[in-house]
Structure formats: C-alpha cells, structure tokens
C-alpha cells in the first residue's frame, strides 16, 4: 500500500474526522479534527505500520481561529512511506500527547510546549526543554520579537533585548572603510 492508498484507508475508517487531504509532489497530508487525531495516529502506527514519528512541530497562525496547529510527520521503516498529519488546536484546548504511541514524541512535545506554549494533555513530564523553568515567554509565537524580551529569574537565568538596530546585519554601502561597510549590528547611541 502506498501513501495515497493509506490516505484513502484513513478517510474510509475515520470519515468526518478527516477534514481534508492534500497532495503536493507526492507528499500526502491529512487534516484531522483535534478530537480524533490521537485515535487516527494510533491507527497509523498499529494498522498502517508507521512505526517512526519523524517530527512533531507546531504552527502559529496568528490572527486566525483556531490559532495553533500541530503537525506530525510519520514514516514507516517497513514500507518507506511518509505521511503528514495536521490538526488545528481550538482556543483553550490541549493537544493529546502521543508519547504512549511513539516514545520519541516526549521531547518533541516538550519543545513544542517550550517554544510555542501548546500544552499536551497526558504527557508524562511536560517541562520546558530549551529555556529554563520560570522563563515567562514562548519565543516562537508570532508576537514575540526576534530580539527577545527582558526577563530575570534570580540564580536561574536572565535575558536581555538583543541590539537589532534595523536587523542583525546592516551594511553601510559607500562608507569610507571596510570596517564600517561590513555587515554588522549597528548599535544606536542609547543601546551603547
């Protein structure tokens, strides 16, 4: 069974829960409602032999409802097929943890929580993985500035705003020497 046939099998099995499917250059994507995403993923592993969760990531569609979306990339070592499962997360709802289906999801879900602030219900140990416990922001959300925000947790960690000055690398074409022409952060007077 190839990936396209598996998508059809999923549509038959889950009916309404499969909201839509897309194919792009042979990549199969299934959009699923959040309520049935876990059952569908379990079916993918048990019946369709997707034994490897390649990646789990999250998207921030700021300004849309629902705002967040979780993406699962699946792969089967037996049949070498890829499948992408996407599910939007309505406001105030948590995504279901898939740690009990693929143990490898554990750290992916922690990262999604750390960076995007999406909670996974049923996760055995949902702590931050990159930033420290007590860091108040979710840095990959769209409203978070690239330069960061100041924070301070005594004895644990602190962050400051990075000097951006119109972007990380600003060239000054026509300046008199190479040091000034070189692309680099140009700090304004008050940043110094």
Interface ranges with another protein (CB under 8 A): 130-132, 137, 139, 144-149, 155-160, 162-164, 168-169, 185
Residue with smaller CB distance to another protein, 1 or 147: 147
CA separation (Å) from 46 to 29, 31, 39? Answer: 19, 19, 10
Find the DSSP H helices in 126-181: 178-181
> DSSP characters for 75-137?
E-TTT--EEEEEEEE-TT-PEEP-TTT-TTHHHHHHHHHHHH---EET-TT---SSSPTT---
Nearer to another protein, 90 or 183 (CB): 183
- Judged by CB, which is closer to another protein: 35, or 161? 161
For residues 88 and 58, what is the distance between their CA atoms, to the nearest angstrom? Answer: 9
CA dist., res. 138 & res. 142, Å (int): 9
The CB density around residue 76, as the number of other CB atoms within 10 Å, is 19
Q: Residue 87: beta bridge partners?
A: 70
The CB-of-169 to another protein minimum distance in angstroms stands at 7
Q: How far is the CB of 147 from another protein (least distance, A)?
A: 6
Minimum distance between the CB of residue 116 and another protein, rounded to whole angstroms? 14
To another protein, the closest distance from the beta carbon of 86 in angstroms equals 27
Minimal distance, residue 141 CB to another protein, in Å: 11
Q: Which is nearer to another protein, 57 or 159 (CB)?
A: 159
Beta carbon nearer to another protein, 33 or 57: 57
């Amino acid at each position: 069974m190839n990936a396209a046939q598996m998508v059809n099998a999923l549509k038959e099995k889950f009916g309404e829960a499969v909201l839509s499917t897309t194919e792009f250059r042979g990549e199969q994507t299934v959009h699923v409602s959040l309520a049935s995403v876990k059952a569908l993923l379990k079916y993918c592993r048990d019946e369709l032999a997707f034994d490897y969760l390649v990646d789990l990531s999250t998207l921030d569609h700021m300004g849309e409802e629902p705002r967040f979306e979780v993406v699962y990339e699946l792969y089967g070592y037996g049949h070498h097929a890829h499948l992408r499962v996407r599910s939007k997360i309505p406001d105030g709802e948590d995504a279901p943890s898939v740690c009990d289906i693929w143990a490898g999801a554990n750290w992916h879900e922690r990262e999604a929580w750390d960076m995007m602030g999406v909670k996974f219900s049923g996760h055995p140990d949902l702590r931050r993985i990159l930033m420290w416990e007590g860091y108040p922001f979710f840095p990959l959300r769209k409203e978070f500035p690239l330069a960061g925000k100041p924070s301070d947790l005594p004895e644990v960690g602190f962050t400051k705003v990075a000097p951006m000055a119109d972007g990380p690398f600003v060239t000054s074409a026509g300046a008199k020497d190479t040091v000034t022409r070189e692309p680099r952060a140009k700090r304004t007077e008050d940043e110094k």
